[in-house]
Amino acid sequence: MFGKSVNLIKVFGFQVKVDISWIIIAGLVTWSLAVGFFPHYLEGLRPVDYWILAIFGALGLFFSIVFHEFWHSVVARKMGVPIKGITLFMFGGVAEMDEDPRTPKSEFWIAVAGPLSSLFLALVFYLLFNLSLTLDVIPGVSSVLMYLALINLILAIFNLIPAFPMDGGRILRAILWQLKKDLRWATQVAAKGGSIFGFVLMGLGLLNILTGYLVGGLWYFFIGMFIRFVAQNSYRQIMVRNALKDETVQKLMKNPVHVPGDITLRELVEDYVYKYHYKLFPVKEGESMKGCVTTRQIGEIEQKNWQDILVREITRECSPENTVGPDESVVKVLGRMNRSGVSRMMVVENGELKGIISLKDIMASLSARMELEGDSSFTD
């Protein structure tokens, strides 16, 4: 979901990162404040003054979003849900949770903390705005304060819309989860809310585009698409985690196909790669495991040399990226495969190769489970 992100600051142990897409948005926000909002609200300033106000406005917006995500993170940490960090990206911010909240109560409080903190900031900026009016400070200062009060109010209200994965959707899910004790059903309903809301935004976007507001229209349209995508995706993710939560690597691993070290690369390709279509093979000599050989390594060697080189000559130590323990949970392995792009991992215990676990086998087990449990949303 994210592109390249840059580490920025650390707030109470939470790393704040900024995705490249956010820098573009920051530029757009500053520009629209400088030529739109501030000139409209406060007349008679020089253009350069509007730009200065706009920069303060954009910095305040940045602070407001970090503040909102920060409170999600603080409450999550208090509830025992680990937080990797806060990332600002195109459509706002996100507190990256490593796992889902375990109880409806913790989900409720983590979700509600964000909008509450935004409401609080809106109130603070509103009071400061009033104070600045009575103290008769530079008019620019009051207009920035008013903008920040307004934007925090909008942040709070927008996030409270009951559409998963937005805060309001999470609050709704927590309440439904508490009422019926069924996380699956609660997620389904909240995600449907997200899907519908995304659709409404896309429709509004189209309407705007058709009536001549191209930029605003595209904006609505993309946010709508994004919310729909995330709603559907997070529903699937939760179903997958639920279905596989008790599975360990041991249960799903297969016997490994070993390759002897004393055959040539040509033989390896003909007899193993073309036969099994694996990208990685463990190399064994006698009873001991020597390491790994991958198709990428073979590809780096010219084909005409394949019959002169033995497998043992290019065998490398298997990287920790490719190995897991037999007792690890399949959900965690799936997460690792997702991040690293590796689809086959060796199951190693005390330096000995026990088996191989592949994405294909995990998926096969998942689809069998789904079919038995009568969930058809995965078969498409």
Size of the site for Zn ion (CB under 5 A): 3
The residue count of the chain comes to 380
| Nearer to Zn ion (CB atom), residue 19 or residue 167 | 167
CA 194 to chain centroid, in Å, comes to 16
List of residues 6+ apart from 292 with CB closer than 8 A: 280, 281, 282, 283, 315, 316, 317, 318, 319, 322, 346
Nearest residue (CB) to Zn ion, 167 versus 247 = 167
**Single-letter code of the amino acid located at 42:** L
Q: Could you tell me the smallest distance in angstroms from the CB atom of residue 152 to Zn ion?
A: 12
- Compute the least distance from the CB of residue 340 to Zn ion, in Å: 29
CB of 159 to Zn ion, least distance (A): 5
Distances 352 to 256, 283, 291, 323, 361 between C-alpha atoms, Å: 12, 12, 11, 11, 21
Query: What string marks each residue from 143 to 162 as x (binds Zn ion by CB under 5 A) or -?
Result: ----------------x---
What x-and-dash track marks residues 334-373 binding Zn ion by CB under 5 A? ----------------------------------------
Nearer to Zn ion, 156 or 356 (CB): 156
Q: Which is nearer to Zn ion, 64 or 159 (CB)?
A: 159
Q: Give whichever of 67 and 281 is closer to Zn ion, judged by the CB atom.
A: 67
CB of 109 to Zn ion, least distance (A): 12
User: Measured from the CB of residue 167, what is the shortest distance to Zn ion in angstroms?
Assistant: 4
Torsion, Cα of 362, 365, 366, 369 (10° steps):
-160
- Rule CB under 5 A: say whether 114 interacts with Zn ion: yes
State yes or no: residue 167 binds Zn ion (CB under 5 A): yes
Site for Zn ion in 216-235 (CB under 5 A): none
User: Tell me, what DSSP letter sits at residue 318?
Assistant: P
Q: Does 282 sit near Zn ion (CB under 5 A)?
A: no
Across 328-364, b (16+ Cβ under 10 Å) vs e yields bbbbebbeebeeeebebbbbbeeeebbbbbbeeebee
Residue 325 beta carbon to Zn ion: minimum distance, rounded to whole angstroms:
36
- 114 vs 282 by CB, closer to Zn ion: 114
Cβ proximity to Zn ion, 169 vs 217, nearer residue: 169
Q: How far apart are CA 315 and CA 293, in angstroms?
A: 5
Q: Which amino acid is at 362?
A: I
Task: Indicate the residue whose CB is closest to Zn ion.
Answer: 114
Query: CA 53, CA 140: separation in Å to the nearest integer?
Result: 7
Helices (H) and strands (E) in the chain, counts: 15, 10
Q: Give residues in contact with Zn ion (CB under 5 A).
A: 114, 159, 167
